[in-house]
Amino acid sequence: MARRPMMAANWKMNKLIEEARDYVEQLLPRIEGARGVDVAIFAPFTCLPEVVRRTQDAPVVAGAQNFYHEDSGAFTGEVSAPMLRDAGAVTVIVGHSERREIFGETDETVAHKAARAVSAGLLPVVCVGETKEERDAGSMWDKVSGQVRAVFEQLDAGQIGGEALVFAYEPIWAIGTGETATPEDAQDAIGRIRALLGELGGEGFAGEVRILYGGSIKPGNVDDIMAQEDVDGGLVGGASLEAESFAELVNAAAKHG
């Protein structure tokens, strides 16, 4: 089944509003020829309205990096799904490894967020992945499969289409380290995730769900990674902070669309 590639920029805690404006202005002309690929910019909350404004007439969507699963209430410092929709976001990252590792988000927390995003009409990009210690201990698949299964304790695969969510496999040991899983490593993990999705929701569902690779993806390795059968794009950190390098990734993904 043909799946539309997706290339997503995760700016993390970077960029001021003026920098976000300049970035989008530099990016758009560089990706004019990129057809058949979905492009998303996951901006800090402060930059989100500016990214929305600058991409309204462009083939780029704006997303947030986090939210809280309740819609309102006494949750100081949190942002809800309706607030994101109100600001113009159409997608949101859920359960990034930094949220899990630094801020203590559990599989259950991530699952609640994924379910609320879907019900709110936001596209969740659900991150899963293992640490170096877990990989070295041979428990990579126990960790990753547990994270995936937890999502479907809150979401019924039979009630949603595979296009309602995206997964991103991000080996934690390859984030921001310059160390990258080989294309074969990425395919092995993502292929196993897709097979698990087939068990949980059927082959049709599994064939629709896009699974991205995240972990030091950059212009030098994007073609080899995108050539893998089950890799549908990238969740990009460091290489997305400059418009020129992110445009290279978008254009590379378009070749595989």
- Measured CA angle at 208 (ends 194, 139), to 5 deg: 15
User: Could you tell me if 219 and 198 are in contact, meaning their C-beta atoms sit under 8 angstroms apart?
Assistant: no
Residue of 50, 130, 170, 248 marked active site: 170
Residue of 96, 105, 112, 130 marked active site: 96
170 is catalytic: yes
18 is catalytic: no
- Measured CA angle at 165 (ends 162, 167), to 5 deg: 105
User: Could you tell me if 1 and 210 are in contact, meaning their C-beta atoms sit under 8 angstroms apart?
Assistant: no
State the first-to-last Cα distance of the chain, in angstroms, to the nearest integer: 12
The catalytic residue positions are 96, 170
